[in-house]
Amino acid sequence: MIAVASRLYGLVGLIALMAMPAFAVQPDEVLDDPALEARARVISKELRCPVCQNESIDESHAEVARDLRLLVRERVSAGDSNDEALSFIVARYGEFVLLNPPAKGSTLILWLAGPAMLLIGGIGAAAYLRGRAAPVPADELSADETKRLTELLNK
Amino acid sequence: MLSQPIGEGAAADYTKFMITELGHFALILALMVAVFQMIVPMIGAQKNWAGWMATGTPAATVQFGLTLTSFAALTYAFVISDFSLRVVTLNSHTAKPMLYKVSGVWGNHEGSMLLWILILTLFGAMAGWFGQGLPPRLKARVLSVQSAIAVAFFIFLIFTSNPFERLAFPPLNGQDLNPLLQDPGLAFHPPFLYVGYVGLSMAFSFAVAALIEGKVDAAWGRWVRPWTLTAWVFLTVGIALGSWWAYYELGWGGFWFWDPVENASFMPWLIAAALLHSAIVVEKREALKSWTILLAILAFGFSLIGAFIVRSGVLTSVHAFATDPERGVYLLLITGIFMGGALVLYALRAEQMEAKGVFSVVSRESALVANNILLAVACFVVFIGTIWPLVAEMFFDRKLSVGPPFFDAAFTPFMVALSVILPVGALMSWKRAKLKRITVSLMPVLVVSVALGGLAFAIQTGGSALGPIGVILGSWLVLGAAFEIWQRAGKANKIARLKGLPRADWGKAVAHAGMGITTFGIAAMLAWQIEDIRIAQIGDRFEVGQHQVELIDVREVDGPNYISTMAEMKLYRGGREVAHLFPEKRVYPVANMPTTEAAISNGILRDLYVVIGDPQNDGGWAVRTYIKPFANWIWAGAIIMALGGTLSLTDRRMRVAGGQRSKAVTS
């Protein structure tokens, strides 16, 4: 997101987007109940600002991000659980706004790719290590070497 | 032109004109030399013609000299503000400070690509200069492959992104570099990253040359390591600089966002780290050869993929550089050709890389295999997370986002596992280790680490496990590294023997400790940071954590090229003033761009971070205050990692990269 923005320069036009990154959550949005507010912040970090590039609504200063933050707080105050508040918003804005795609359907591949790779790597490595450990101890000569040695000795 | 009266000014203009054209000309000549160097030494190596092989080094030197001339000419154009060049007009301004005129050279696609190539040719030339110990055939092939990469990028630069493109009607002044980019941290961030990305091309060239040769031995491992280590050190510093910049500049103290462009630099870093470790196994034990070759190919592959991600705009990222599809296609083509070619070669030849070393399942070798699997899988997770939005849209017709919550959950476990096994693996001996003995000897380290974690848990408010786990892992790594050095020093004459330890051993311990410090810093800052958002009136004093914050004044201040709304704030702790801070909000009227300048009081134990926001209707101001415990440890750890790498680089073994047997003390 922004952070890196500058990181690779270029992007001039887009940088305007990051105009005022500091003004994400405004003081007037903050809920009086700290527990509810803390939950709202957690939920906000899971939601992508629909008009921004890779920014959560918690970080974004965009108008729609503010609307979503207020909506999250409204749902939380109305007694929604975190999941209920999230699905309320996903129902309206689509799964695009979820920064953490749920492990359902094709997204399962995304979630399982790492563990599957680890398994494959682990099995491969285990096979390799067994292969390395099994063969003739290093201090014994191979057939070729023995042959060569006898040749040399017989000279 | 000639019809113009020739006065002083006109004469100066001609010089400008000539120097720029000289740079352009040098660039084209460099391409031709690169084509020569790609072909002649390779044929020489195939046919065993010594004269043809010997052309490699002088060609590499000339190629570097020409590229340097070209780069110097472009820099000169920026310095004298030659607005007849399109890139200068778009990225510079006469009133810009000199530092940013120079850094503006690489603050755009064309110039940064030229810097990329300059570093590429520098590495090629260095391989020629320092490679006297290399067998001539291997050296000729390495230089040839390195030059093939250069050819691809010269063509890319000259035909799709020529920095020497002229404007028919040069404007009187330029459009300036974005104010946010006029920052010392950012001026040096890209060169570091590029040395890292491009340095990995050496590992690639060595890998391909070895595949053509059909031979990998201990000496090969020894030659590849210094290049990889150099690249990795620079990548580490480059990534840390970018992260640190984000922290102080963006106004809320975020330091890592899992953005595609960040991931583009992180993936080569992870693979380079794996490669560093596996090349040790090749060097010491002549095992893991084909795997090491594969890593060397992939490490540079991720550099190329990174260039594609950053410059093609296929993945949404705020930084997506000059998103030009034509350039994107060309970069994809380069990536495809080099990766495809190298991997086909690999498939054909890898079988020949017969391993020699035999070792037991419990050994340093196995520990390094585990390290490699974890780093490679972690990199794969980052990769798949980065490209998944694209895959999902193309194949499953789903528009979705993959952001920090995914990466935090999917990536972190691998790093935790790595940290857990690291001190144990580091103590294992080659061939056959005694796990029981190591576990017993590490018991004090484990006990102290867990005790520190327990202490952290007892002190902190709230039951979060993140902080204590960070403490345990961090001290496990740092104390584990210290313990290793202590143990290596033996029983008697500790001090004398510590001095005598090879620098590579010190480097290893320092780098591992650095990783522990970064791990701890990240966990501590995320777990224990305090945030306060409120409306404050002038003169208000409020509590944030154990600190009191006072908003003394807010006033308008004129800067050289901006107008600032500057707040004056004092922070107290226990009645004593601990910081006097001036956070600002700036507007740059020319660019019509507001920026936030947070004010930070840096400390070893915590940063106090204040930001001034918008004025409110009732006359108050939105004020954000953060207390960020151990924030600086994140970057300090990264710098310590880089220091460890540098220490290793100065080891005798690396300096005499040619032939000699390693004299390292083995445990």
DSSP string over A9-54: ---HHHHGGGS-GGGSS-GGG--SSHHHHHHHHHHHHHBB-TTSSS
What H or E segment, with its residue span, contains residue B480?
Answer: helix B466-488
Task: Cite the beta strand spans of B299-385 per DSSP E.
Answer: none
SS3 B621: strand
Do A74 and A143 fall into the same domain?
no
In this prediction, residues B444-464 reach a mean pLDDT of 88
* Choice between A149 and A11, residue whose per-residue pLDDT is larger: A149
Do A81 and A111 fall into the same domain?
no
Residue span of the structural domain in which A141 resides? 107-154
In this prediction, residues B365-386 reach a mean pLDDT of 94
Tokens matching residue B147: 């030059």
Q: Is residue B661 included in any domain, yes or no? A: no
Strand B563-573 to strand B599-601: parallel, antiparallel, or no bridges (unpaired)?
unpaired
Report whether A55 contacts A10 (CB < 8 A). Answer: no
In this prediction, residues B296-305 reach a mean pLDDT of 94
Using an 8 Å CB-CB cutoff, list chain A residues near B180. 5-6, 15, 18
Q: Is residue B271 included in any domain, yes or no? A: no
Residue span of the structural domain in which B613 resides? 530-631
- Tens digits of residue pLDDT in B308-366: 888 876 665 544 444 566 788 888 899 999 999 999 999 988 877 777 777 888 888 88
Among B401, B464, B530, B544, the strongest candidate for a mutation testing the A interface, having the largest count of A CBs within 10 A, is: B401
Q: Is residue B101 included in any domain, yes or no? A: no
What H or E segment, with its residue span, contains residue B570?
Answer: strand B563-573
Q: Is the pTM of this model over 0.95?
A: no
Predicted pLDDT at B651: 84
Do A30 and A52 fall into the same domain?
yes
* Domain total of chain B: 1
Q: What is the ipTM of this complex?
A: 0.82
Q: What are phi and psi of A42, to 5 degrees?
A: -60, -45
Q: Report d(CA B520, CA B473) in Å as an integer.
A: 7
Distance from CA of A31 to the nearest CA of B (A): 11
- The mean pLDDT of chain B is 87
Query: Measuring CA to CA, how many Å separate B589 from each of A16, B92, B179, B592?
Result: 13, 16, 11, 4
Whether the pLDDT of residue B89 is over 90: the answer is no
Do A16 and A52 fall into the same domain?
yes
The conformational region for residue B59 under phi > 0 = left, psi -120 to 50 = alpha, else beta, is alpha
Using an 8 Å CB-CB cutoff, list chain A residues near B404. 45, 56, 99
Q: Is residue B443 included in any domain, yes or no? A: no
CB within 8 Å: B405 and A97: no
Do A18 and A80 fall into the same domain?
yes
- Domain of A6, CATH number, reads 1.10.8.640
Predicted pLDDT at B421: 93
Using an 8 Å CB-CB cutoff, list chain B residues near A21. 250-252, 596
**B502 CB neighbour count, 10 Å cutoff:** 18
In this prediction, residues B506-520 reach a mean pLDDT of 95
Report whether B612 contacts B626 (CB < 8 A). Answer: no
Among B8-22, B419-433, B631-645, the range with the most confident prediction by mean pLDDT is B631-645
Q: Is residue A102 included in any domain, yes or no? A: no
Q: What are phi and psi of B355, to 5 degrees?
A: -80, 150
CB within 8 Å: A99 and B380: no
CB within 8 Å: A15 and B183: no
* Domain total of chain A: 2
CB within 8 Å: B534 and A27: yes
Rg (CA), chain A: 29
Shortest CA distance from B382: residue in chain A: A114
CB within 8 Å: B406 and A56: no
Q: Is residue B589 included in any domain, yes or no? A: yes
Taking alpha carbons only, the member of B410, B350, B364 closest to residue B385 is B410
Do A27 and A52 fall into the same domain?
yes
Shortest CA distance from A122: residue in chain B: B373
Predicted pLDDT at A60: 81
Query: Measuring CA to CA, how many Å separate B240 from each of A127, B237, B262, B632?
Result: 38, 5, 11, 11
Do A87 and A142 fall into the same domain?
no
Given A64, A97, A130, which residue is the final one in a domain?
Answer: A97
Of the given ranges (B103-112, B203-212, B588-597, B655-664), which has the lowest mean pLDDT? B655-664
Distance from CA of A78 to the nearest CA of B (A): 23
Query: Measuring CA to CA, how many Å separate A122 from each of A126, B272, B281, B373, B382?
Result: 6, 20, 18, 7, 19
Q: What are phi and psi of B436, to 5 degrees?
A: -60, -45
Residue among A19, A27, A97 whose CB faces B533 most closely: A27
Do A75 and A147 fall into the same domain?
no
Q: Is residue B655 included in any domain, yes or no? A: no
* Choice between A129 and B139, residue whose per-residue pLDDT is larger: B139
CB within 8 Å: A59 and B369: no
Distance from CA of A121 to the nearest CA of B (A): 6
Q: Is residue A70 included in any domain, yes or no? A: yes
Shortest CA distance from A98: residue in chain B: B401
The proportion of chain A whose per-residue pLDDT surpasses 90, expressed as a percent, equals 16
Q: Is residue B613 included in any domain, yes or no? A: yes
Predicted pLDDT at B239: 94
Whether the pLDDT of residue B431 is over 80: the answer is yes
Q: Does B308 touch chain A (CB under 8 A)?
A: no
Q: Is residue B351 included in any domain, yes or no? A: no
Confidence class of residue A138 from pLDDT cuts 50, 70 and 90? low
Shortest CA distance from B594: residue in chain A: A19
Tokens matching residue B390: 């694209």
Do A91 and A121 fall into the same domain?
no
Predicted pLDDT at A134: 58
SS3 B600: strand
Do A25 and A71 fall into the same domain?
yes
Q: Does B357 touch chain A (CB under 8 A)?
A: yes
Do A69 and A126 fall into the same domain?
no
Among B17-26, B216-225, B291-300, the range with the most confident prediction by mean pLDDT is B291-300
- Tens digits of residue pLDDT in B598-620: 899 998 999 999 999 888 888 88
- Tens digits of residue pLDDT in B536-562: 999 999 999 889 999 999 999 988 778
Q: Does B295 touch chain A (CB under 8 A)?
A: no
Q: Is residue A130 included in any domain, yes or no? A: yes
Residue among A6, A15, A21 whose CB faces B186 most closely: A6
Do A14 and A81 fall into the same domain?
yes
